[in-house]
């Protein structure tokens, strides 16, 4: 049963916010479309960035349909609305950057400062709140290298939404599935509210 959406105060309306949503490769990528849809329905502007692997699981057209915004899938795209490279200009008026799902590979890329896909490159030029939502096999999640990358990202200020425990697409049961969307939603809501109050 889905929990009720968190209610934002009048001082912090969703329609006054812009959310960057990074989608990386993994079965849970389809759940990101639900996040994009619910945020758009509340009035937020949602701009999606996808890695090539994410595009193998969910087509960019899905996100364009639910957000009514163009989706960035390549690092060599034309100048954005701000007459600056899209990976830089896209963050000029955004309030939060959410990566859901974040694969094990992408956690490593983020921790090491890679800039070879639309999500990583945008993160490098981003200086606002970053929410990372890992999703992967339970053994991958427990791997010391993955945990070290997560810890490093936390130390740099990222908000990490721990994965949930349950049945995984690979057939295993354990920690690693994308956190419940209401949990992710609540974290984003807290950040947006804090931004209004600061």
Q: Which SS3 state, helix, strand or coil, does residue 70 take?
A: coil
Question: Can you tell me the distance from the alpha carbon of 50 to that of 52, in angstroms, rounded to the nearest whole number?
Answer: 7
Query: Token pair of 176, please?
Result: 């690693």
Q: Find out whether 98 and 126 touch, Cβ atoms under 8 Å.
A: no
> Catalytic pick from 55, 120, 170, 193?
170
- CA-based end-to-end distance of the chain: 34
- 170 given a catalytic annotation: yes
Beta-sheet strand order (sheet of 130-134): 45-50, 18-23, 96-102, 130-134, 159-160
Largest CA distance in the chain: 47
Catalytic residues: 170
């Amino acid at each position: 049963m889905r929990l009720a959406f968190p209610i934002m105060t009048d001082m912090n309306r969703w329609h006054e916010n812009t959310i960057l949503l990074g989608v990386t490769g993994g079965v849970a990528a389809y759940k990101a479309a639900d996040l994009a849809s619910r945020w758009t329905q509340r009035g937020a502007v949602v701009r999606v960035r996808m890695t090539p692997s994410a595009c193998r699981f969910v087509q960019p057209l899905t996100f364009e349909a639910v957000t009514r915004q163009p989706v960035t899938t390549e690092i060599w795209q034309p100048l954005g609305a701000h007459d600056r490279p899209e990976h830089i200009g896209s963050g000029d008026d955004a309030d939060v950057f959410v990566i859901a799902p974040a694969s094990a590979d992408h956690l490593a890329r983020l921790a090491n400062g890679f800039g070879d896909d639309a999500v990583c490159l945008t993160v490098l030029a981003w200086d606002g709140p970053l929410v990372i939502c890992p999703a992967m096999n339970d053994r991958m999640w427990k791997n010391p290298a993955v945990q070290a990358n997560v810890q490093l990202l936390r130390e740099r200020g990222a908000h990490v939404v721990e994965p949930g425990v349950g049945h995984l697409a690979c057939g295993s049961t354990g920690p690693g599935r994308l956190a419940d969307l209401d949990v992710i939603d609540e974290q984003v809501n807290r950040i947006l509210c804090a931004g209004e109050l600061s």
